[in-house]
Amino acid sequence: MSIRTAVTSPLALALLLSASVPLAHAQDSFGSAPPQQPQQQQPQPQPPQPYPQQDPRPAQAPQDYGQAAAPASQENMDMGVAPMAQLKSGGLHGPTPNVIPGGRLVTTMELAQLLRDPNAQALVFDVLGGPQHLPNAIPAVPASQPGNFQDQTQREFGQFLQQTTQGRKDRPMVFYCQSTQCWMSYNAALRAINLGYTKVLWYRGGIEAWQQAGGPLQPSGGAAMQGG
């Protein structure tokens, strides 16, 4: 779905008018080129990407969104992949588990309901790094990287989440990437879980499920923090 299509639909207009701040643009990745979306063949792990500087705002959804959401059965599909509690290494494109240890899989319908709740103050993190994002999503591509829970990425991510959540370990946070064939958001969610966050939601369907359900997107834009 193109940006033009998203902006001209009633659903897109409702959400874009409700957004109160611009997105942080995921620019260079610690001084390297911007990351690309996972490829169908011979995928490579995405390079790290800077975290945003501005204070995040809770994501929002219009009141009527979610009625045309993609069937939850597709997003919950068992692909025969066992869940793992360690970060995925190697290719990050391929079948994924339908559960995540210490967190919870969330479907498009459930995400829409969560974003309609003003009291939830849910934060949505984009770890794909493409030219478009879910509305008000916060760029956090470095968190998708392979490694371990004692590496530099984990330390930097911990500092970032501490600031983003204002120290609230129970702040709902949603991680998404491309689709049910993408491990990047799984890795990011595992990193957050390991840091002690108690309401980590993995949006397994990702941006593809969001688009299929008619959800609007926003273009990347704004400044981003350089990683070390």
- What structural domains and CATH numbers belong to the chain? 3-18+54-219 (3.40.250.10)
**End-to-end CA separation in angstroms for the chain:** 35
Dump pLDDT digits (tens) for 120-179: 999 999 999 999 999 899 999 999 999 999 999 999 999 999 999 999 999 999 999 999
CA distance linking residue 149 with residue 153, whole number of Å: 8
Using alpha carbons, list the distances in angstroms from residue 87 to 100, 133, 169, 209.
Answer: 11, 24, 21, 23
Q: Give the global pTM.
A: 0.71
Dump pLDDT digits (tens) for 58-115: 555 544 444 444 566 789 999 999 999 999 998 999 999 999 999 999 999 999 999 9
CA distance linking residue 164 with residue 57, whole number of Å: 9
Dump pLDDT digits (tens) for 167-197: 999 999 999 999 999 999 999 999 999 999 9
Give the mean pLDDT of 32-36.
39
- The three-class DSSP label of residue 193 is helix
